[in-house]
Amino acid sequence: MKKAGKGLFLVLEGLDGCGKSVQAALLAERLGNLGRKVRALREPGSTPPGEKVRELLLDPATGSLDPATEALLFMACRRELVSREILPALERGEDVVLERFHPSTICYQGAGLGLGTERVEELARWTTPGLEPDLVILLDLPVKEALARLGPQRDRLEGRGGAYLEKVRRAFLDWAGSRPGVAVVDASLSREDVARALWEEVKRVLHQG
């Protein structure tokens, strides 16, 4: 159901501003200190075509896109990342720490843009059949605090404002609450406390392996 290989597939999710990039780097470093080989990746991106599409999706100059077009662009980047980077790394026994995966598209485009979470989730299953993370960690942060952390210079999605992001946050929490293997960490804590709570969740899947 999940994947081949002995590597762990760990996904960090949450609103922009929740600290995913910082926590992903800290987690990758901590796993590496255990002698494990780690690939730290981000979505969209981490492949040459993915980085180009990332620029398109996040650049405010792109303007509005049809919601389905936006979701499909994210899925296309994901498919390329999975085939080029994630599956080969897992098959080599490397751990993969990934910033964003299917939950982001389900919540940002499915809920936030009104495409429907079930429709986007079905598309997600088609895009990466059989691939499931060992653990998804949702770094939950109130929208007001997330926007304060982002400051005035915001990308195309961040610029949609608080009402949109409130829909996305609620969708993240609903999604996390309905699935096993998903942990929610309070991202309003200090960086050190978030890292500590995140590591406690990761240790559980490490011990299972």
Q: Over the chain (209 residues), what is each successive 10-residue block's mean pLDDT?
A: 70 96 98 97 96 94 95 96 97 97 97 96 92 97 94 84 94 94 96 98 85
Could you tell me the two tokens for 99?
């910033």
pLDDT for position 209: 54
- Distances from the Cα of 157 to the Cαs of 79, 87, 95, 208, in angstroms? 21, 28, 29, 37
Identify the CATH number of the domain in which residue 115 sits: 3.40.50.300
Could you tell me the two tokens for 205?
């899947």
pLDDT for position 5: 58
- Distances from the Cα of 50 to the Cαs of 41, 93, 109, 127, 174, in angstroms? 11, 24, 18, 15, 28
- Distances from the Cα of 117 to the Cαs of 52, 122, 167, in angstroms? 26, 9, 12
State the residue range of the domain holding 46. 9-208
Q: Is residue 190 situated within a structural domain?
A: yes
Distance from C-alpha of 174 to C-alpha of 120, rounded to nearest angstrom: 15
Number of structural domains found in the chain: 1
Find where tokens 């429709």 sit.
Answer: 119
Could you tell me the two tokens for 148?
């304060």
pLDDT for position 1: 34
Q: Is residue 2 situated within a structural domain?
A: no
Q: Is residue 143 situated within a structural domain?
A: yes
pLDDT for position 85: 97
Q: Is residue 113 situated within a structural domain?
A: yes
Q: Is residue 139 situated within a structural domain?
A: yes
126: number of Cβ within 10 Å: 10
Q: Is residue 1 situated within a structural domain?
A: no
pLDDT for position 96: 98
- 58 CB-near residues (< 8 Å, 6+ apart): 155, 156, 157
Contact 136, 182 (CB under 8 A): yes
Q: Dihedral, CA atoms, 58, 83, 92, 184, nearest 10 degrees? A: 50
